[in-house]
C-alpha cells in the first residue's frame, strides 16, 4: 500500500481552518448531545466507499484519516485530530460515501447519524455555519483534485463524453478524467475492463461497475444519487424542475416544514446553472457563476430536508384524481398533494458551433438596461422578427451606435406589430437586414466579430461584439398533457391571467378563484420561465418559487 501526498491539506493554506475547523469544547458538547460516544481502534474502518448510511464523526481523542482506495493502493486525503469532524455535502443528501474513513490512532469519537445532523444544522446557527461551510469547501476541493469514486474515460471530440462531463460537473460530483486522445497508457485500462472504442464514453463507478456510454440516469443510479429518497409516500409538494425557481420553492417549502420532493431531469441549477456569470442577482456585487449559485441553493435545500431526485424526468401528469400522480422514467410514480411546475423554457438557438462559448460575453437572450449599458456606443445585432426582437431593437437604439435586425424572412409585417415596424423604419440607427443569418461568431475571451450571409449568398464580416438572440423560448410543458391551461405560446397561465373561459374549460371546481401563480388545476402552481408573462430572470424565478410556497400552505391547510 502506498500513501501519496495530502492533496487537500496541502493546497489551500489560508482556507485550512475553514475547511478543517477545530471546534471549541462547548461546540463539541452541543454536538455530543445529538450522538453517542464510541471507542475506535487504530486501523478500524468506520466508513467504506459506497456505504449508504454514513455517520458523522467528531474526534475526541486519537486520529481519523480519510483515504481514497484505488486498486491495491490508496491516497491519503486528510487526517482529523481532536475536535475535528468528518463529512462533506454527501452527508446532507444521504448519498453513498465516496471515500474511506478509518481510525489512524486509537481513541474516541462521537458518532451522529444523518437525521440528527440535519436537525442540528437546522437549529444551531453557529454550528450550521461552521459545518456547512466546511462541507462545501471540502466538496470544492475534492472536485478540484478529481478525488471521487468515478473515472470517466472519453474523448473531447465525442459528444457523449461532453454530456457526461457536464452531468457530473453540474451535479458537483468529483471525477477523474482519462483522455483517450492524450493518455498513451489508457489501453491497459480499457483491456482490463474489456472495453472497445465503440463503448466510449465509459464511466467506472468505485472501481467496480463499468458503464458503457451510459445515460445520465444510469450514472445517477450507479452513484446512488437518489438512493436515500423514498418516492412511495404522498408528498406535501412535488416540485418539477430544479432551476432557480424550483430550488427556491424547495428551500422555502422544506424550511417551513413541508415534505418536499424535487424532480430534475438533468442537474440542479437549470439554465442559470449554465451561465458563466450572473451579474444582476441581488447580493452578489461582483457576480456569481450559475454553477456556484445552483450548488449553494441545492445544498441549502438539502440542509432543510428537501429530497432532490436527479436524472428523473416527469413524463406525464395524472390530473384526474387526488392525490395527483406524476409518472417518471421507468414507470415510477410519485404522489403529490400539491405540485409546483418549474420546468423552465429553452431559448431557441441558431445552429452556430461556438454559440455557447459567447453566452453572456457577447451573446444575450434578453435586452435590459444592464445589457444596454454593455454595448453603449457600439454596433449590435438583434436576431429575430417578433415583437420581443422589435422592442429590443428600439430600446437598444437609444444607446447603441447602430442596431442591425437580422431576419430570415423577407419582411417583418407577418411577425411584428405594426407600431413596432413603423418605429424601426423611422429610426435612422436601425437597419433591417432581411433574408440574412449569422453563420459564424469569432473572438477569444469575448465576442469580437460576426459573419452573416445575405440573400445573395455573400458572407460579410463585421467587428460586432454584442448580439441579442430574440428568437423566442420554448416552454417545457408538453408533458402536462392538457392538464393545465396554456397561453398561445404554450406557457402556463396562472392566477389572474386565467379567464372565465379558461376556468370553465378546465372545470375549475372551487368557489374561490385561483391563487396568484396557481394554474387552472387546484393546488398545481407554475413558477419561473415556464409561466406565461414571467420576466425571464433568476431573481423573478426565485421570487415566484418562494411565493408559491405560501399558497401551497393555504391549499394544504385552508
Ligand X SMILES: Cc1cc2nc3c(=O)[nH]c(=O)nc-3n(C[C@H](O)[C@H](O)[C@H](O)COP(=O)(O)OP(=O)(O)OC[C@H]3O[C@@H](n4cnc5c(N)ncnc54)[C@H](O)[C@@H]3O)c2cc1C
Please give the residue ranges that form the binding site for ligand X (CB under 6 A): 240-246, 263-266, 270-272, 274-275, 278-280, 313-314, 342-344, 347, 359-360, 365, 476, 479, 528-529, 536-539, 541
Closest separation between CB of residue 243 and ligand X, Å?
2
Q: How far apart are CA 194 and CA 197, in angstroms?
A: 10
Closest separation between CB of residue 542 and ligand X, Å?
8
Q: How far apart are CA 131 and CA 269, in angstroms?
A: 23
Nearer of residues 51 and 169 to ligand X, judged by Cβ = 169
Nearer of residues 62 and 545 to ligand X, judged by Cβ = 545
Q: How far apart are CA 385 and CA 404, in angstroms?
A: 12
Closest separation between CB of residue 156 and ligand X, Å?
22
Nearer of residues 279 and 460 to ligand X, judged by Cβ = 279
Cβ-count burial of 376 within 10 angstroms (0-12 exposed, 13-18 middle, 19+ buried)?
Answer: exposed
Nearer of residues 133 and 316 to ligand X, judged by Cβ = 316
Closest separation between CB of residue 507 and ligand X, Å?
24
Cell of 250: 424547495
Sign of the C-alpha dihedral, residues 389, 390, 391, 394?
positive
Starting at the earlier edge strand, list the strands of the sheet with 379-383.
363-364, 466-469, 379-383, 402-406, 430-433
Closest separation between CB of residue 33 and ligand X, Å?
39
Q: How many CB atoms lie within 10 A of CB 444?
A: 8
Nearer of residues 153 and 250 to ligand X, judged by Cβ = 250
Nearer of residues 136 and 272 to ligand X, judged by Cβ = 272
Q: Which residues pair with 85 in a beta bridge?
A: 58
Q: How far apart are CA 428 and CA 550, in angstroms?
A: 49
* Of 134, 139, 145, 140, nearest in space to 6 by CA: 145
Nearer of residues 263 and 552 to ligand X, judged by Cβ = 263
Q: How far apart are CA 541 and CA 260, in angstroms?
A: 18
Nearer of residues 177 and 479 to ligand X, judged by Cβ = 479
H or E stretch at 217: helix 216-222
Nearer of residues 359 and 379 to ligand X, judged by Cβ = 359
Nearer of residues 121 and 342 to ligand X, judged by Cβ = 342
Closest separation between CB of residue 346 and ligand X, Å?
7
Starting at the earlier edge strand, list the strands of the sheet with 459-462.
437-443, 447-453, 459-462
Nearer of residues 144 and 346 to ligand X, judged by Cβ = 346
Q: How many CB atoms lie within 10 A of CB 93?
A: 23
Sign of the C-alpha dihedral, residues 243, 247, 253, 259?
positive
Closest separation between CB of residue 150 and ligand X, Å?
21
Closest separation between CB of residue 261 and ligand X, Å?
11
Closest separation between CB of residue 529 and ligand X, Å?
4
Alpha helices in 256-386 (DSSP H): 290-303, 369-374
Closest separation between CB of residue 452 and ligand X, Å?
21
Q: How far apart are CA 111 and CA 118, in angstroms?
A: 14
Alpha helices in 456-528 (DSSP H): 500-505
Cell of 470: 430574440
Closest separation between CB of residue 538 and ligand X, Å?
4
Q: How far apart are CA 510 and CA 522, in angstroms?
A: 8
Closest separation between CB of residue 123 and ligand X, Å?
29
Q: How far apart are CA 308 and CA 329, in angstroms?
A: 15
Nearer of residues 121 and 238 to ligand X, judged by Cβ = 238
Residue that the C-alpha cell 456547512 belongs to = 132
Cell of 165: 462531463
Query: Residue 213 in contact with residue 160, Cβ under 8 Å?
Result: yes
Amino acid at each position: 500500500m502506498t500513501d501519496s501526498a495530502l492533496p487537500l491539506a496541502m493546497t489551500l493554506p489560508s482556507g485550512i481552518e475553514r475547511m478543517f475547523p477545530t471546534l471549541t469544547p462547548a461546540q463539541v458538547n452541543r454536538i455530543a448531545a445529538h450522538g453517542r460516544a464510541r471507542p475506535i481502534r487504530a486501523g478500524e474502518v468506520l466508513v467504506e466507499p459506497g456505504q449508504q448510511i454514513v455517520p458523522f464523526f467528531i474526534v475526541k481523542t486519537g486520529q481519523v484519516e480519510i483515504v481514497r482506495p484505488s486498486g491495491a493502493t490508496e491516497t491519503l486525503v486528510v487526517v482529523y485530530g481532536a475536535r475535528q469532524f468528518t463529512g462533506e455535502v454527501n452527508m446532507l443528501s444521504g448519498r453513498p460515501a465516496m471515500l474511506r474513513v478509518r481510525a489512524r490512532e486509537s481513541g474516541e469519537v462521537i458518532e451522529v447519524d444523518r437525521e440528527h445532523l440535519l436537525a442540528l444544522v437546522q437549529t444551531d446557527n453557529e454550528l450550521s455555519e461552521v459545518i456547512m461551510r466546511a462541507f462545501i469547501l471540502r466538496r470544492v476541493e475534492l472536485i478540484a483534485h478529481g478525488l471521487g469514486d468515478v473515472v470517466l474515460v472519453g474523448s473531447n471530440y465525442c459528444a457523449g463524453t461532453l454530456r457526461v462531463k457536464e452531468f457530473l460537473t453540474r451535479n458537483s460530483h468529483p471525477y477523474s478524467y482519462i483522455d483517450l486522445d492524450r493518455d498513451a497508457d489508457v489501453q491497459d485500462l480499457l483491456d482490463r475492463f474489456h472495453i472497445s472504442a465503440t463503448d466510449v464514453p465509459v464511466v467506472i463507478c468505485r472501481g467496480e461497475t463499468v458503464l458503457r456510454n451510459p445515460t445520465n440516469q444510469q450514472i445517477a443510479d450507479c452513484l446512488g444519487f437518489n438512493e436515500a429518497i423514498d418516492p412511495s409516500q404522498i408528498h406535501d409538494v412535488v416540485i418539477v424542475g430544479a432551476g432557480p425557481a424550483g430550488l427556491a420553492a424547495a428551500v422555502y417549502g422544506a424550511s417551513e416544514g413541508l415534505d418536499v420532493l424535487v424532480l430534475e431531469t438533468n442537474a440542479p441549477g437549470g439554465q442559470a446553472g449554465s451561465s458563466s456569470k450572473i451579474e444582476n442577482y441581488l447580493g452578489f456585487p461582483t457576480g456569481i457563476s450559475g454553477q456556484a449559485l445552483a450548488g449553494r441553493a441545492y445544498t441549502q435545500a438539502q440542509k432543510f430536508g428537501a429530497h432532490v431526485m436527479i436524472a428523473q424526468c416527469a413524463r406525464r401528469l395524472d390530473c384526474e384524481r387526488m392525490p395527483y400522480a406524476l409518472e417518471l422514467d421507468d414507470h415510477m410514480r410519485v404522489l403529490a398533494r400539491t405540485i409546483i411546475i418549474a420546468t423552465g423554457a429553452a431559448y431557441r438557438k441558431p445552429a452556430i458551433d461556438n454559440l455557447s462559448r459567447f453566452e453572456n460575453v457577447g451573446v444575450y437572450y434578453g435586452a435590459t438596461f444592464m445589457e444596454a449599458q454593455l454595448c453603449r456606443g457600439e454596433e449590435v445585432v438583434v436576431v429575430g422578427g417578433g415583437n420581443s426582437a422589435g422592442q429590443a431593437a428600439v430600446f437598444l437604439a437609444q444607446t447603441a451606435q447602430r442596431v442591425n435586425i437580422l431576419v430570415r424572412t423577407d419582411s417583418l409585417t407577418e411577425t411584428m406589430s405594426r407600431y413596432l415596424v413603423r418605429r424601426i423604419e423611422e429610426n435612422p440607427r436601425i437597419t433591417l437586414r432581411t433574408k440574412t443569418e449569422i453563420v459564424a461568431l469569432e473572438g477569444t475571451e469575448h465576442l469580437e466579430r460576426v459573419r452573416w450571409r445575405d440573400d445573395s449568398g455573400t458572407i460579410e464580416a463585421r467587428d460586432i461584439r454584442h448580439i441579442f438572440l430574440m428568437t423566442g423560448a420554448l416552454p417545457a410543458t408538453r408533458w402536462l398533457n392538457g392538464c393545465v391551461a396554456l397561453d398561445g405560446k404554450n406557457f402556463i397561465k396562472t392566477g389572474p391571467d386565467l379567464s372565465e373561459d379558461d376556468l370553465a374549460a378546465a372545470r375549475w371546481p372551487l368557489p374561490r378563484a385561483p391563487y396568484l401563480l396557481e394554474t387552472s388545476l387546484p393546488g398545481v402552481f407554475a413558477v419561473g420561465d415556464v409561466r406565461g408573462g414571467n420576466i425571464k430572470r433568476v431573481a423573478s424565478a426565485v421570487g415566484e418559487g418562494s411565493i408559491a410556497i405560501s399558497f401551497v400552505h393555504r391549499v394544504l391547510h385552508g
